[in-house]
Each structure stands twice: as structure tokens, then as C-alpha cells.
Amino acid sequence: MKKAVILLSGGLDSATIIYVAKSKGYKPYCLIFDYGQRHRKEINQAKRIAEHTKSKYYLVKIDLPWGGSSLLDKTKNIPKNRSIDHKDIPSTYVPARNIIFLSFAASYAEALGAEAVFIGANAVDYSGYPDCRPEFFDSYQAALKKGMKQGVEGNSVKIFTPLLNKTKAQIIKMGVKLKVPYHMTWSCYVGASRPCGECDSCILRQKGFDSAGVVDPVIKI
Ligand SMILES: [Zn+2]
């Protein structure tokens, strides 16, 4: 069976891509990162999702002690109720996060003999992070072809971004068909007992569920 490494955060998009990968005939192998984010809620949900799908996973702990993001530094405020403008990169941006995550994923994929890495990045309903844009993934793919054994041997690990150009509503509709357990996902940047409803991630999620005409099972509870 084909193998794919899945970058799993516990959020809605990454939960969806496990099911997309499975629907394309891949056996998923998940990577979950504890990178010093403000709360552990998304990590716990990611583990639940991996277990629910009976996927092997690694929880990789990495330190970014230099911070540089309101997602890493609890003394900084998470932006609330802002109008999301893709030209403005907000303080929740974590320096080079997807470059770091994809590098781990590429390493795991090559060691495992996996041909694919799936990442649930989105460049439509997103916060404007540059490492979620198509031009970044094209360049990163080119780097893997030059910088990895599988790459120079003509059998490069392929980066799949199946959600990149979809709206959040399209993602949710697709995920509902694939039976993604959205009740297990957590999107809020704040990590209180309930989603705050005001951070970018909550706003984008709510807009997506509303547009898809689906009740968010996390809010419903
Ligand atoms: Zn929130």
C-alpha cells in the first residue's frame, strides 16, 4: 500500500487531509508537533484523530525558544475580530513554521519509504501566512528534488496540498462526505474550554460551516 506522511495539527484542515489521503489509497503516517504553542488542546485532539483513524503517529517536540509569534508567547495578545486582509501577515504567524514542519515530514517520508507528504494548507480562507501560498509549495518541492536522495534519484517525495485552493466551505462539504470527525477538531488559537469565536481561526471556521450549511459540532456541544 502507498504510504503518506500527514502533517496533523488537530485542526479542521489537517483532519480532512487524512481522509483525503486515505481516499486516494494512501496509508497515513501522522506527524504531530509540540512546538511550544500556547495550549495543548490541539495536540490532544490531533492524537485523538490519529487514533480514531488507526494511524501511526509521532508526537515530535521541538523548541523555538526565540518565539517571534503571539501563538508562542503568552504575553502577546492574539488578534481578535480583525478584518482578515491577506496582505497583512498577523502576529500569529510563526516564523518559518511550514518550512520546519515540511522538513521533518520529508525526512520521515524518505526514511519510511513514503512517496507523499500531505499538508492541509489553504490559501483562500486563511490568515495570509506566506508559507501557505502556492508559490512556496512549488519552491519547496523543487528544493526536495535537489536536496534529498530520493529526489536526485528521480523519485522525489511529493508534497500534496489538496485543500490549497478550496474555500473553507468546500473543505467542510468534502470532509462531511468523507466522514471526517469534525467534533474531534480544535481550531481556536486561544485554547479555552470553548472556542473564543473572535480569533482568525474561529472566524474562518465559523464562516466555513455557515457557508457550507453545516452545524459545527464543536460549537453545538
Ligand atoms: Zn478562537
Task: Show the domains of the chain with their CATH numbers.
Answer: 2-220 (3.40.50.620)
How is residue 153 written as a grid cell?
Answer: 534519484
Q: Measure 208 CA to ligand 1 centroid, in angstroms.
A: 14
Q: Measure 203 CA to ligand 1 centroid, in angstroms.
A: 7
Q: Does pLDDT of 85 surpass 90?
A: no
How is residue 13 written as a grid cell?
Answer: 484542515
Span 25-38, pLDDT tens digits: 999 999 999 999 98
d(CA 47, CA 91): 27
- Residue 39: alpha-carbon gap to chain centroid: 16
d(CA 9, CA 30): 10
Q: Measure 146 CA to ligand 1 centroid, in angstroms.
A: 39
Q: Measure 198 CA to ligand 1 centroid, in angstroms.
A: 5
In angstroms, the Cα distances linking 206 to 135, 187, 203 are: 27, 10, 5
Q: Measure 105 CA to ligand 1 centroid, in angstroms.
A: 27
Helix (H) or strand (E) holding 13: helix 12-23
Span 146-186, pLDDT tens digits: 999 999 999 999 999 999 999 999 999 999 999 999 999 99
Span 117-153, pLDDT tens digits: 999 999 998 888 999 999 999 999 999 999 999 999 9
What pLDDT shows up at residue 220? 67
d(CA 169, CA 171): 5
Q: Measure 204 CA to ligand 1 centroid, in angstroms.
A: 10
